[in-house]
Amino acid sequence: GSEVYLPAYWFELSFETEDDSLRNIKSIHNTFQLLNNICLCVGLLLCLMLAVLISCLIYQHIIKRMW
């Protein structure tokens, strides 16, 4: 919704006039967004690896059953 974009828009407007504290808040906000994206990517990779591992184990189990 629009309520998510309002603070970011406010940051852009106030960036010129405010002091260094707002600049710090903005950089911290960007850093947290970056960390959030990295965590999401790592999480997806881990889930994918886990899925591959489980499917390999099931596959090996089926082959052992067949023999």
* 15 Cβ contact partners less than 8 Å away, ≥ 6 residues apart: 22, 23, 26
Contact between residue 11 and residue 22 where contact means Cβ atoms under 8 Å apart: yes
> How do residues 12-67 score in pLDDT, each as one tens digit?
555 555 567 777 888 888 888 999 999 999 999 999 999 999 999 999 988 888 77
For residue 2, what are the CA distances in angstroms to 23, 27, 40, 59, 63? 23, 22, 23, 48, 54
Domain count across the chain: 1
Domain that holds residue 53: 2-66
pTM above 0.75, yes or no: no
Contacts (Cβ under 8 Å, ≥6 apart) of 26? 11, 15
